[in-house]
Amino acid sequence: MGRYVRLVIILVLTMILLLSSLTPVVSQTVSAINIGGNPSYGIYYDGKMYVVLQGASKLAVVQDNSVVSTYNLPSYSGAVPFRIAAGGGLLYVVYQKGPVIRLTPNGQEVGVVNISHIGKYPAVCYADGYLIVTASYGNTVWFIKNLSTEKVNVMPGPQALAYDNYTNVVYVGAYQSNLIYGISLSNFKIVDNFTINDTTVDAMAFVPPDILAIATYEQQVEFVNLTDHKIIGVATFISGGINGYSQMIYDPADHYVVLSLAHNGDEVAFINYSGDVKYLITVGQSPNGVVYDPQNHYVYVMDYGSNQVSYFPSLGVTPSSVNTGVSFTFYYIIIGVVVAILVVIGVVLWLRSRN
């Protein structure tokens, strides 16, 4: 029976390892706004949330968890509205393979900017008075303010941006590159550069005061200390989910980053800067954009595939409404499988001992 004891020990250790690798699943109440039109990305601005309805070429305005207005967006041949930024009293809608349009908050178009080689995966943000857009099929980052434009050459395929408001530097990541560039908004020069472990950057977020979170196609989120460029944490998603439509933001209420997993069980992940995936929350189908509302401290997720916007309280401000216990479904399955294997092995060894 010594062999049986050894097998029992091995299986028990395996079970412990599997259990320790499981991620807690929060029992969180998730509500939904049936918005239609394949929502892609959104932005919170001046007390309202503006959502791009990519499939309908419209812009929806959400306030108090209801759609209060919807505006038609202009059509361009071969182009569809994609991402959105806001600042300086205007909204900026970036089209895939198309222009950037300027809108007033009531949906009136006031200008168009054409970006060379903007491609299918442009990133956009608004910082220090500048609209910042990447040419995802080229190698430039555009900085637009009023009628003036600055361009900075970077690595090919830039498709991720994150703004460090502590140093006034915008960081750029790219497709099929492990390079990260930091561009100063004071002089439009590259003032920082470093490499990460993985080779394709999908989304980034700045974590105050000095950490950059970088989500990659290799299904990892690397947390880099911007002071010394050391990687201080890595989160890994074994079954995938991070792709060109994922978005990552910083949630100041709980100090986690929130990442949409567009092709992995329709979930968003809450990750701390040590690389621990603290929680997974199930939302609608194909979650793309993620927005944090600083007024009501809710997180909003644009569910492209189910034509809705999911929303729920930030985990950092409503601990009483959140059951942070682990979902034991997987535990029971694993324990049951291990017990069944042990029984079978025990029966086989007992029968052999009688022969």
Structural domains for the chain: 1-22+329-355 (no CATH), 23-325 (2.130.10.10)
What is the three-state SS of the chain?
A: CHHHHHHHHHHHHHHHHHHHHCCCECECCCEEEECCCCEEEEEEECCEEEEEEHHHCEEEEEECCEEEEEEECCCECCEEEEEEEEECCEEEEEEECCCEEEECCCCCEEEEECCCCCCCCCCEEEECCEEEEECCCCCEEEEEECCEEEEEECCCCEEEEEEECCCCEEEEEECCCCEEEEEECCCCCEEEEEECCCCCEEEEEEECCCEEEEEECCCEEEEEECCCCCEEEEEECCCCCCCCCCCEEEECCCCEEEEEECCCCCEEEEECCCCCEEEEEECCCCEEEEEEECCCCEEEEEEHHHCEEEEEECCCCCHHHCECCCCCHHHHHHHHHHHHHHHHHHHHHHHHHHC
Closest CA to 213 of 272, 156, 285, 167: 272
Q: What is the mean pLDDT of residues 110-137?
A: 97
According to the model, what pLDDT value does residue 329 have? 34
CA-based R_g, the chain, Å: 23
**Type of residue found at 88:** G
Q: Which residue has the tokens 């759609």?
A: 67
Convert the pLDDT of each residue in 9-46 to its tens digit: 555 444 544 444 445 555 579 999 999 999 999 999 99
Regarding beta strands 140-145 and 58-63, do their DSSP bridges make them parallel or antiparallel, or are they unpaired? Answer: unpaired
Handedness of CA 143, 149, 155, 156 (dihedral sign): positive
According to the model, what pLDDT value does residue 330 have? 41
According to the model, what pLDDT value does residue 306 have? 96
According to the model, what pLDDT value does residue 305 have? 95
**Residue 294 structure tokens:** 């600083």
**What percent of the chain has pLDDT above 70?**
81
Q: Omega of the bond prior to 209 within 30 degrees of 0, cis? A: yes
Q: What is the pTM (predicted TM-score) of this model?
A: 0.84
Mean confidence (pLDDT) of the chain: 88
Band (pLDDT 50/70/90 cuts) for residue 351 is: low
CA 209, chain centre distance (Å): 19
Model confidence at 286: pLDDT above 60:
yes
Band (pLDDT 50/70/90 cuts) for residue 316 is: confident
Q: What is the mean pLDDT of residues 133-161?
A: 96
Convert the pLDDT of each residue in 79-122 to its tens digit: 999 999 999 999 999 999 999 999 999 999 999 999 999 999 99
Q: What is the mean pLDDT of residues 201-227?
A: 97
**Residue 8 structure tokens:** 């029992």
Model confidence at 352: pLDDT above 90:
no
Give the count of beta carbons closer than 10 Å to the beta carbon of residue 230: 10
Residue that wins the pLDDT comparison between 142 and 13: 142
Band (pLDDT 50/70/90 cuts) for residue 283 is: very high
Model confidence at 67: pLDDT above 50:
yes
What is the distance between the alpha carbons of residues 120 and 110, in angstroms, rounded to a whole number? 24
According to the model, what pLDDT value does residue 347 have? 55
According to the model, what pLDDT value does residue 28 have? 76
